[in-house]
Chain A
């Protein structure tokens, strides 16, 4: 007998990964392994979705890291002795990725624990970027943050939050940025 009413199971289209990086496997989703990855210069990319609720409430990290539409991205990587967070902007029709430094703290176990329980826990997916190769190829906003500034801030608080005042506005420097002049 033919069963005309039997519905064909529709195949779900595979989810498109917006970042060409491998996802962190579940066995490495623990603070110790993530700390090791960061120490070994592996950058960690977080993908956030506003619709990805947490405990029946809005996903705070997703709101904080919005990039385009309901999606958001953030990059966490080691730079010197610091753990640096970048927010990700999508620029132009090509949706070019621009990284914007947003937080700096010391790369300590406690700061990784904090990250694990906040922004990593809120991520829809986490990706790893060996040796920060992919991140190194992305454009970055130019800022004036230096080591003295970071040390001064971290002597007072756990995290140095970098505000808009630290970024150069192209229109203010028609003859090139101050850093370029020095060189």
Chain B
């Protein structure tokens, strides 16, 4: 039949309970039981979804309030604090910090052949139309660039370590097509000049210039559960292919 408990409520909360009782004819106990069922015994998946929603709202409101005028900013601050309190409750009392929200990129999901690719939503997809026929994908990353260069995704029937010069050339042309500044990177590449007198063929006469110039890398995207990686492997930016 339940338990009788007595506890202290703040004046405001007591008034709210009274108002609910007067307006909806719902007894105190029923309101409190509903609140506990809804919030304290919330299923884990619903909790996670609500928490993700609150985080997105906080992020959105933070951006909005910095652009808003004085009055609007105050309204948005109060509103975001409500989401912050809700998020903190759903996060078992742990506060949500802006840095923790921003360090987690928003992800996108792309259907592939018998699999799904998950990658940050700011990665540029070069050949989305071919995704459904491909089992593999690679990411293009640039090092030593003088400006910020995004990551690019290319779907292929083979892994990046099996690419030949024609493959990489085709992918890099697609990068220029989708993001024209990539041409500046390609123009600033330094061709290595092998040292004829050196013992190893990878020793270059212009090694210093090569190392300091921008370099384009093609990397295979990790396939979840790939036995070549340790079981606790965490791929960069959580980018991975999940076989269905």
Chain A residues near B (Cβ < 8 Å): 30-32, 35, 55, 108-110, 112-114, 116-118, 121, 158
Contact = CB atoms under 8 A, between A and B. Distances in A.
Contacts of B66: 108-110
Contact of B73 (A109, A114, A118): A109
19 contacts: A32-B77, A55-B94, A108-B65, A108-B66, A109-B65, A109-B68, A109-B73, A110-B62, A110-B66, A113-B62, A113-B81, A113-B84, A114-B98, A117-B84, A117-B96, A118-B95, A118-B97, A121-B95, A158-B99
Mostly, the A contact residues are helix
Given A110-B62, A110-B63, A113-B84, A35 B97 contact: no
A31 B81 contact: yes
Interface size range on B against A: 20 to 34
Contacts of B96: 117
Interface of B: 62-63, 65-66, 68, 73-74, 76-78, 80-81, 84, 92-99, 102
A81 B151 CA distance: 34
Given A109-B76, A110-B62, 13 more contacts: A30-B78, A32-B74, A32-B77, A108-B66, A110-B63, A110-B66, A112-B77, A113-B98, A114-B98, A114-B99, A121-B95, A158-B98, A158-B99
Nearest to A116: B81
Nearest to A159: B99
